[in-house]
Amino acid sequence: MHTLAERIQKQDQRALARAITMVENDHPDKLSLLSDIASIKQKAYYVGITGSPGAGKSSLVDRLITHLRNQHLTVAIIAVDPTSPFSGGALLGDRVRMHKHFTDPGVFIRSMATRGSLGGLARSTKDAIRVCDAYGFDAVIVETVGVGQSELDIMKVVDTTAVVLTPNSGDVLQIFKAGIMEIADLFIINKADLHGVQKLKTQLREFMHIVDPKGWVPPIVETISTENKGIEELWQKCTQHRDYLSETEAGKQKRQDQLAYEVYELIREELWKEAKAFIEQDPAKQKALKQTKDPYQLADDWLSEWKRERGR
């Protein structure tokens, strides 16, 4: 077994942080490490918190951490921040909002930059979740960047997806366009002290009637994170969904679909790296890439050539 995997199993937080850095940086030992980590059976509950920018996701997560720690549950938080297209860096401001938990040994907070990845998550988010699970946390909370019309990957890596909305923000029309109605297991109306809560709840119920969810019907929870209101009910609804997943065929199918997605993503990533190296290591191809006016034909030619070299 990989040394880091052994140390993670013994709950060494330095090893945990180092392992996540390895998977983020695509270290040569990454697949070997993750394979060993996958053999460490744990039972963490994965919760995804997503929603529009400014909906109060980070403050909500901060309150949820406090609630879980009061129940003596250990928590890992993976907060995904957008990457600057200019510097390649990220502000990682979510850690600032959760500063009071930094010294708590039962809490692990890791910010991850998207590094240009679409879908609202960093490319290595699922790997980081697995590493945290192997460590033995009771819950792993993933907070995505502000959700948009293509950022739906959260549903593929967590057990329960909670969508955070605010009254009078126009969010409900945006999420209906984005398809988030179909991935939400729970709706959170945060800042519920603002005017327009009942209107938003009515809109959500009407849209759910149109979508006609089968089996689990996403509940709607009102919260005011600044006043620590609604957090207990929020966690109750989350655990109800966890029980639903463990007790129904729909839950088993969801886990099978997630596993298949993970396998496909790993294969796609390895093939992409190989094909990219095939192009970048050939000066003639680099020159052609700069001069081409027909990327479709070039891609088709190179793909055929790459397959021939691989004996396919």
Interior angle at CA 160, CA 82 and CA 215, nearest 5: 135
Question: Rounded to an integer, what distance in angstroms lies between the CA atom of residue 270 and that of residue 262?
Answer: 12
Question: Rounded to an integer, what distance in angstroms lies between the CA atom of residue 288 and that of residue 101?
Answer: 53
- Nearest residue to 169 via CA among 196, 134, 188: 196
147 shares its domain with 270: no
190 shares its domain with 280: no
Return the higher-pLDDT residue of 136 and 150.
136
Residue 192 lies in a domain: yes
Which residue, chain included where needed, has tokens 């942080």?
A: 17
Q: Is 262 exposed, middle or buried (0-12, 13-18, 19+ CB in 10 A)?
A: middle
Question: Rounded to an integer, what distance in angstroms lies between the CA atom of residue 244 and that of residue 238?
Answer: 10
Give residue 178's pLDDT: 55
Residue 223 lies in a domain: yes
Residue 26 lies in a domain: yes
- 279: which DSSP letter? H
Question: Rounded to an integer, what distance in angstroms lies between the CA atom of residue 244 and that of residue 92?
Answer: 34
136 shares its domain with 222: yes
Question: Rounded to an integer, what distance in angstroms lies between the CA atom of residue 154 and that of residue 162?
Answer: 10
75 shares its domain with 216: yes
178 shares its domain with 59: yes
Question: Rounded to an integer, what distance in angstroms lies between the CA atom of residue 307 and that of residue 34?
Answer: 28
27 shares its domain with 52: no
H or E segment to which residue 107 belongs? strand 107-113
141 shares its domain with 92: yes
- Judged against a pLDDT cut of 80, whether residue 44 lies above it is answered with yes
287 shares its domain with 240: no
Q: Do the Cβ atoms of 178 and 229 come closer than 8 Å? A: no
The CATH code of the domain that includes 166 is: 3.40.50.300
Residue 83 lies in a domain: yes
Residue 253 lies in a domain: no
Residue 257 lies in a domain: no
Return the higher-pLDDT residue of 112 and 169.
112
Question: Rounded to an integer, what distance in angstroms lies between the CA atom of residue 183 and that of residue 216?
Answer: 11
156 shares its domain with 237: yes
- Summarised one tens digit per residue, pLDDT across range 150-163 is 456 788 889 999 99
Choose the most confident range, by mean pLDDT, from 139-153, 163-177, 255-269: 255-269
Q: For the chain, what is the domain count?
A: 3
Which residue, chain included where needed, has tokens 């860096």?
A: 89
109 shares its domain with 177: yes
Give residue 149's pLDDT: 40
> Which residues are paired to 165 by β-bridges?
189
Residue 72 lies in a domain: yes
Number of Cβ atoms within 10 Å of the Cβ of 147: 25
Question: What's the pTM value of the predicted model, to 2 decimals?
Answer: 0.82
Residue 290 lies in a domain: yes
Rg for the chain, CA atoms, rounded: 21
Give residue 266's pLDDT: 82
Give residue 86's pLDDT: 37
35 shares its domain with 60: no
Task: Identify the domain containing residue 48 by its residue range.
Answer: 42-247
Give residue 21's pLDDT: 92
56 shares its domain with 113: yes
